[in-house]
Structure 1
Amino acid sequence: MEIIRYPSEEQWASLIKRPALDVTDLFDTVRTVLDEVRKEGDVAVKRYGEKFDQVALSDLLVSADELDEAESLISPALKQAIRTAKSNIETFHAMQQFEGEKIETSPGVVCWQKAVAIEKVGLYVPGGTAPLFSTVLMLAVPARIAGCKEIVLCSPPNKEGKIHPAILFAAKEAGVSMVCKVGGIQAIAAMAYGTQSIPKVYKIFGPGNQYVTAAKQWVSLKEVAIDMPAGPSEVEVIADETADPAFIASDFLSQAEHGADSQALLLTTAESLIDPVVEEIHKQLNRLPRKAITEKALAHCRIILLKDREELIRFTNAYAPEHLIIQTADYRELADRIENAGSVFLGPYTPESAGDYASGTNHTLPTNGYARAYSGVNLDSFIKKITFQEISHAGILGLGETIRIMAENEELEAHRHAVTLRMKK
C-alpha cells in the first residue's frame, strides 16, 4: 500500500489511474468464441463450458426441480436475508417509476413520453471466486418492476454441473424467467446471438472477469446494448480526525477482497489518521479467509494526504469513484459538492457493504472513472422512453412556417413540402 503526502496537482493524473487491464488484448480470444457460438449455438456453448468450466452438460437450462431443490439447500437465515434485501431493493426502485405528462409546446402542438420496458434482458451473474447472489437481486428486481417480459440469467456451473443454490433461490424470488448454466464469453455470446436453448436478448447486464467485460464490449458494437463499461471494483474514503480508523480499515478491506485488481483510496487532510488506519488494516487483514487476494489488491491501494478540503473535493471529482464513503464531521456539506461518483455512503455507520447487499440502492455501478458520465443501474436502465406528438390543424398553421424556413435552409425540400401540403389543406 502506497502512502502519498501532499502530491502536486501535476501528479493527480497518475494517482487516479486504475490497475485496469486493457481488454482489447483479449479480443482475439473473445471473437473466436463469439463467432463459434453465433454459428453453432448450443454445441459451441457446451464445448466451451467443458473447456473453461470443466463440466460436460446435456442440458444448459436449470430445471424447476433444481430451483425447488436449491431452496432446501440454504439456511432459513440466508433465505430471510435475501427476502429482506429484495424487499428494500423493490421499495427503492419502485419509487423511480416514470410518470409522463402531456405538454403543449405551442398552441395545438402536444408532446409526451411513455416509458416502455425492454422486452428481453440478459443478466450475467459470476459464480467463480464468490457466488454473487446479491447481483441477482440488483438486476432481476428492477427488471421485473420495469415490466421486462423475459429475464434470462446466465451463471457458470460448478464441476458437478450445478449453480450455487443461493443464486438459484434469489433468481426464483426475484422473478427470473430462465436460468442457464453458462458462464464466461460463451454466456455473453448466447444472450447476444441466441441459441437453440437460450433466447437472444436486447440488453445485457452484470459484472464479470476481463473476458466477460471484453465480450460485452464487443457485442455492444452492433448486436446488443449493455449496461455500462465495467472494470475492477473500487472505493474511495474521505475521512478526517473524527473518523474511526477501524471503520476505515474495514471499508478498505471489504473492497480489496473483491479481487486482486480492486482498488481502495483514503483521502484525508489529517496526518494523525494515517498510522492508526494502516495498523488497523494489517490487524484486520489477518482475520480474512480471502487474505491472499486482498493482499494483492492492497499493493495498488493508496492513502493520500491532501492540503485542504478543496483539494479533497477536486481530487474526488477527478477520480470519480464507483463507491465513495465520507466519514467526516461535515459529511453532508462535502456530499453536496460531489459531482462524480457511482454511489455515496454518508457518515460513520454507512458501510459500502450496506449498498452491496440490502439498503435498497443498486450495487451495479460505473467503475474506472465512468461515473463522470454514467449512472449506476436503476429502473431507467430497463426501460426505453418513446416520444409522442399530436398536432392539430391550428397547430400546424401556427408552427408550419417555422418548420418550412428551417427545412429550406437545410436544403431538405421534401421536409418543407410535407408541411406545405398540410398548411394548404
Structure 2
Amino acid sequence: MSTEIKAPAFPESVAEGTVATWHKHPGDAVSRDEIIVEIETDKVVLEVPSPVDGVLKEHKVNEDDVVESEQVLATVEEGATADAPKADASADESASDAKAEATESSDEEAVQVGDKLVAPAAKKLAAENNVDLSQVQGTGKGGRVLKEDVQNAIKNGPKASPAPAAPAAAAPVAGAREEKRVPMSRMRQTIAKRLVQAQQTAAMLTTYNEVDMKPVMDLRKQYKELFEKTHNGTRLGFMSFFVKAATEALKRFPDVNASIDGTDIVYHGYQDIGVAVSTPRGLMVPVLRDTDSLTLAGIESTISDFGKRGRDGKIGIEDMQGGTFTITNGGVFGSLMSTPILNPPQTAILGMHKIQERPMAVNGEVVIRPMMYLALSYDHRMIDGKDAVQFLVTIKELLEDPARILLEV
C-alpha cells in the first residue's frame, strides 16, 4: 500500500516553502519518523518525517522546487523492503561489456606504434594512463594490441614514467581569482527583504551611550557558582540582566514598547523581548514571552535553549512570532560599536557590544573600567529623541546599580 508524504500545514504568515534537501531517494528503506526531506520557508526549516515503515517509491517534487501547504512530496510503499544489490548480474553485464569492447577493438583499423599494431581504443587508453605499449603483449588478430590488453597492463604491467605536466595542467597561477555562484536561500532572501524594508519605511535614528559593567560583573562573579548549583546547571550570563533592565525601561516608556500598524499605534500591555540568535542558516529572533514575570534563571535557561535549537535548526515559527522589542548582541563576535536595524513592526532595538577596558574619570580620578557601548535604534515616527535617550539612560542606570532592577526603582 502506498502512503503519500505531504508538506506540513504552513502557518498563515507562510505562503510557501522551497524543497531544500532530500535525505531519502527512490528505493531507499525508510523508518517511521525518519526525516525524508527538509523544506525551507522564509522563517524556519521544516523537517518532514515518514509516517510509516517501508521503501521510498518516488519523489513528486525536486530540490529547489516551490511547494505549498500540504502538497504531496513523495510516496512510500508501506511494509516493502529495499532490493539487495544484484552483484552477480552486474558482474555478468561487466563481462559482456568487456567482451563486446574487445570484439569491437579487434575489428577497428589498427595503427602502427613502433613494431606493434595497436587498436585506436587501446592507444587512447594507454596514453591516458601512461602505459608503455612496447611492454604490452597483444592478444588480438596478428598480435595486435587491444583495449583489453592495455587494461590488463594497467592492473599488472609496468608503466612508463609520467610525462612532465603541461603548463596548462599546472596548478592555478598565483593571484588567480575564483568565483562561485550559489542561489540565495529563501530565509536569507526574507532577511534581506525585511532589512531593506525597515530602512525604507522607518525614520530610523540611533542614539548611543555607554555602561560601566563592573557592578554586574562583580555580582555575577560573586554568585556565579551558587546560581548554577541552585538552578540545575543554568549559567548566569549578562543577557538576563539586559533583558530585565530593558523590561523595566519598557514599562516606563510605553512608546518604545509600541508598534505601528498602518496609521495606528498599537500599545502593548506586556513585554515580549526578541533575542537575536545567529544560526548556520541565518539570523533568527526567537521571543521571550512576558519577560516581566521571568526570573534571571528563567531567562538564561530559555536563551540557552534557543541557542541550541537554533544550531540544530529546531526553532519553530511560533517561537519567532510577535515580539514588542529586540536585543541583539554583536559583542559576542567582537563588535565594539554598531548600528542595529529595526525588526518591523517593532519601533526600537537595543544593541549590545564588546566589553572593553578603558580609562574612565570616576570621582575625579582616572580608573580602568570594563565599559560597553550601547546603541538604541528607534523609529522617529513613533518615538521622540528625548524618550529614546531617556530610555537608554534608564537601562544604563539599572545595569550600573543592579539592585534597582530587583527594587524596580
TM-score range, shorter chain: under 0.3
Q: Which has the higher contact order (CA 8 A, sep 6+)?
A: 1
Please report the TM-score for the alignment, with normalisation by the length of structure 2.
Answer: 0.23
Higher strand share: 2
TM-score, with length taken from structure 1: 0.22
Structure number with greater Rg is: 2
Structure whose residues are more often helix by fraction: 1
